[in-house]
Structure 1
Amino acid sequence: MIDIQTIATPGLGDRSYLAHDGEVALVVDPQRDIDRVTEMVEQLGVRVTHVAETHIHNDYLTGGLDLAERTGAAYLVDARDEVGFARTPVSEGDEIIVGSMRLRPIATPGHTHHHLSYALEDESGAVAAVFTGGSLLYGTTGRTDLVSPDDTDELTHAQYHSVRRLVDELPAEAAVYPTHGFGSFCAGTPASGADSSTIGEEAEANPALTKDEQQFVDDLLAGLGAYPAYYARMGPANAAGPAPADLSAPEEVDTTELRRRLEAGQWVADLRDRTAFAAGHLPGSLSFQLAQPFVTYLGWLFPFDQELTLIGETPEQVADARRELVRIGIDRMAAATGSIDDLADGQGLESYPVSDFGGLAERDPDQVFVIDARTDGERAGGGVRGSVHIPLHELPARRDEVPTRGEVWVYCGSGYRASIATSMLAAGDATDRHLVVINDEWANAADAGLPITTDTR
């Protein structure tokens, strides 16, 4: 009997899988911090003989090579991919024996040119599951614009046919196990939010299976928005073969060195709750609360050629942040740990007010400048009338558009990105502007009486 265990990475919206028959195990799309896999292997008392990649990933660094080398497992990577390491090249038509299980690669181009899905058969030959990577997701498909703008249209058509092929060739009861689609920017359109699905269930609801080809292509292309800048680094790094993850404690810096880094304008990310940051923070530091979106937005904005310094309240908080960051290749970091008052070491803290949409509604719209830090897709659904749309990832290049005097209010969908944006404006700010972060859910804006418009130019 096949048992499939899920290893979720909520911060990146991805999942890895371990399938076993009680003795022998297969691991699919492991992330770089493979200790989560090895701990599960030890608990289950199984032996990993195969590690499979559905594709060369664009949103995280793989742990597949490291896991295969540590366990002696065969590392299954598409034979067409040019890689800088030893692997077991696989292609459609191959049959890989994994204990009493059998693994069958299926070419499913779309998310990438050389994308594979893997049908997993039990000892009777029945297909129990299919690992679909960035092809068939829950209620959507993987995005198709990560390879090259010139390839996007071709890959979108290919994605349509790949998903339909899976449904045509596999039994309706086969469980679907995608890698992406749980908040990852690798999803082409919003996923269904389901925690599980089957081929039959997707056949009834997935847009790739309910729309004609051109309508699917047009809708997917229209829904593609910006994706994190660090994606450009992941594919080449995965093809070269990532080094093992270093999860050791970062170098601890003292208050003198911390102040030097801040005064030099280096990247110092404060992991505390965003409202605590607003109430008092070291001048020049940035608010990156250690919550689910942390790694995506820090990685999107961080200049990878710099060293990162983390401010954490505890060593455990710093360790959790380090784990998140090594998944996307941010390895050079130091830390300062303790209460913010102790880390200040006598220097004054800075602060700015926290409000909500109700607070904004009480202000004279002619007296405030309002920034909407959400994505283009969110903005298209409506925004506060008179607000200026500056998506968070565009703020570094567009901060000159923000007035240097008067009140500046910043909102997003929850307060998380607004806090980052406000801290970026506050860092090294020698202007006379008065910053206010709106720590509130976007759904509350209309209820607060704010005028909402879909004319969001």
Structure 2
Amino acid sequence: MFVKQLYTGCLSEAAYFIESGGVAVVIDPLRDIDVYLDLATERNATIKYIFETHFHADFVSGHLELAKATGAQIVFGPDAETGFDAYVAKDNEEFAIGALTLKVLHTPGHTLESSCYLLLDEQKAPYALFTGDTLFVGDVGRPDLFSGDLTKEELADLLFDSLNNKIKTLPDHVIVYPAHGPGSACGKNLGPDTHSTIGDEKSSNYALLATDKQAFIEEVTSGLTTPPSYFPINAKINKEGYDALQGIMKKAMQPLTPAEFKQKSKEGALILDTRPATEFGDGFVPGSISIGLEGRFAEWAGSLLPFDKEIILVTPVGKEEETVVRMARVGFDNVNGYLNGGYPAWEAAGEARDMVISIEPDELAMDLPHDENLVIVDVRKPAEYASGHIKGSINLTLGDMTDPGTMADFDENHNLYVHCQGGYRSIIACSILKREGIHNLRNVEGGYNKMKDEKGLEVIQEKSVLN
């Protein structure tokens, strides 16, 4: 038996490769499939099935790419309706993987078609459960995503039954392998680990500890933040199908001279700069949006960038292909070239440049008492803001900054001091503000992590929210 978790940190996503006797299956693959093909070669195995736990909303799955490359059959659980050839399995149906068996457990609740896959060992004993977004470490999948006509309360009702009738009845030693780990927006508050056991989850996961259905429904449906805007787009792509990555890469991997790059920008292409936040702040092509590869790149790209507009790239030299692949993972098929030679080529051509001025928290503390037009803009999530923020600051969540009207209260007299928790999101926010014509701003280096310890900056909490 060979079971390998393939974890992608920037998406908090886990795919799985299972092999026995030269027969392999992949569960919830990403769109770039080389890692699965390489594993099959390494194990001298043939990929026979591609199992999907549900229609993913937070990334574009590699099921179609992998099926085309290997001839493997795509398998969904009950109630799945696809725009492409796929096998819709029955509840409790079993699939042979060499000497192993994979059993379908239909577990609606996160979505209607959500299913878990129970791996039985050579003796047909339960060994591991691949739970998709039905069960996470310390949490469960939120019931308010791509869910047809059902309300989140109705889906939570189904989820309670799925957990109690299909999952809690399994032996305690069974390993839990979820589709996501900490940081994923597919749950409310995932635990720090990427795998667990049924026994551990039964003893610590609030959703498996719940015995009253109505109380469970209220708990699971309360406190849900607005899901990222790209979730329904990705879910639709995964349900209906998509173009091959090879063609997307060919279009995207076009090197552009500074003059060609400038012309595309004039014609309406959006400029995305994926260099580290600190490098971006020191100088960038005017009008660029910064989303550095070093952070949760794909998630922020999906949340902030348009899917229907041409995008051109400024990347660290040598990171062009990585950038395109990571964008394709969340459904971006609209990249049409990159600045050849990166930002240094733009500078060398003598083109216009912009920058973001960054200051230390102590400078903000000195300016605060003497500037009546000073506005501290905290771009963290509401829960982060509530747990502690600088007195007098406003909370303009980064994910909301592309919505019309969110910046209407700023005027040319305001001096904006923008911060997040550590510095990554605030540079993104500054780039968006500058693109909207708001240039009188400063980025506070180190964000709230450094600001909370600075004398002269008073920290307060929103206790009503926390309680």
Q: Shorter-chain TM-score: which interval?
A: over 0.9
User: Equivalent pairs: percent with the same residue?
Assistant: 29
Counterpart of 2:454, as a letter, is A
Secondary structure in 1 aligned to 2:180? Answer: coil
Residue of 403, 412, 428 corresponding to 1:420 = 428
Aligned to 1:87: 86
One-letter identity of the residue aligned with 2:244 = P
Alignment deviations for residues 7-33 of structure 1 (CA, whole Å, 9 cap, x no partner): 112121111000112421111011111
Q: Which residue of 2 aligns with 1:259?
A: 262
- Equivalences for 1:200-349 in 2 at 5 Å? 200-212=199-211, 213-246=213-246, 247-248=249-250, 250-264=253-267, 266-314=269-317, 316-333=318-335, 334-344=337-347, 345-349=349-353
- Under a length normalisation based on structure 2, what TM-score does the superposition of the two structures give? 0.91
- Judge which range, 246-255 or 415-424, deviates more: 246-255
Q: Deviations over 1:322-354 (max 9, x none)?
A: 110111111221111325242131123222211
Matches within 5 A, 1:45-444: 45-148=44-147, 150-187=150-187, 189-212=188-211, 213-246=213-246, 247-248=249-250, 250-264=253-267, 266-314=269-317, 316-333=318-335, 334-344=337-347, 345-365=349-369, 366-396=372-402, 397=404, 398-427=406-435, 429=437, 433-444=439-450
- TM-score normalized by the length of structure 1: 0.93
SS, match of residue 176 in structure 2: strand
Q: Which runs of 5+ in 1 are unaligned?
A: none
Contact 2:273 / 2:315 at 8 angstroms: preserved in 1? Answer: yes
Moved over 6 A (4+): none
Shift of 1:176: 0.7
**Which deviates more, 210-219 or 102-111?**
210-219
Worse overlay, 353-362 or 190-199: 353-362
Q: Distance in 1 between matches of 2:447 and 2:156?
A: 33
Deviation of the 1:48 alpha carbon: 1.0
1:78-109 deviation per Cα after TM superposition (whole angstroms, max 9, x unaligned): 24211111112202121111211111111111
Aligned partner of 1:7 in structure 2 is 6
Aligned-partner SS, 1:165: helix
Provide the rounded CA distance (Å) in 2 between the counterparts of 1:265 and 1:278. Answer: 23
Deviations 1:121-153 (A, max 9, x none): 011011110100001101111111103585201
Structure 2: which 5+ runs fail to align?
none
Letter in 2 for 1:305: D
The amino acid across from 2:222 in the alignment is A
For 1:220 and 1:167, the matched residues in 2 are separated by 17
> Aligned to 1:40, what secondary structure does the other structure show?
helix
Q: Aligned partner of 1:338: which letter?
A: G
Structure-2 separation of matches of 1:402 and 1:43:
57
Secondary structure at the aligned position of 1:359 is classed as helix
Size of the alignment, in residue pairs?
452
Instruction: Decide which moves more: 18-27 or 373-382.
Output: 373-382
SS in 2 for 1:400: coil
Deviations, residues 134-180 of structure 1 (Å, cap 9, x unaligned): 01101111111103585201112222332233443211111111112
On the 8 A contact 1:63/1:242 being kept in 2, the answer is: no
Classify 1:412/1:193 alpha carbon distance in 2 versus 1 (closer, same or farther; 3 Å). same
Amino acid at match of 2:176: V
Q: 1:14–1:181: 8 Å Cα contact kept in structure 2?
A: yes
Corresponding residue SS for 2:293: coil
- Looking at structure 1, the residues matched to 377 and 395 of structure 2 have their Cα atoms a distance apart, in angstroms, of 6
What is the alpha-carbon distance in structure 2 between the residues aligned to residue 161 and residue 20 of structure 1? 31
Task: Answer yes or no: is the 8 Å Cα contact 2:78–2:91 preserved in 1.
Answer: no
Question: Structure 1 residues 283 and 171, CA, compared in 2 at 3 Å: closer, same or farther?
Answer: same
Point out the more displaced range, 134-143 or 406-415: 406-415
Kindly indicate whether the alpha-carbon contact (under 8 Å) linking 1:267 and 1:308 is maintained by their aligned counterparts in 2: yes
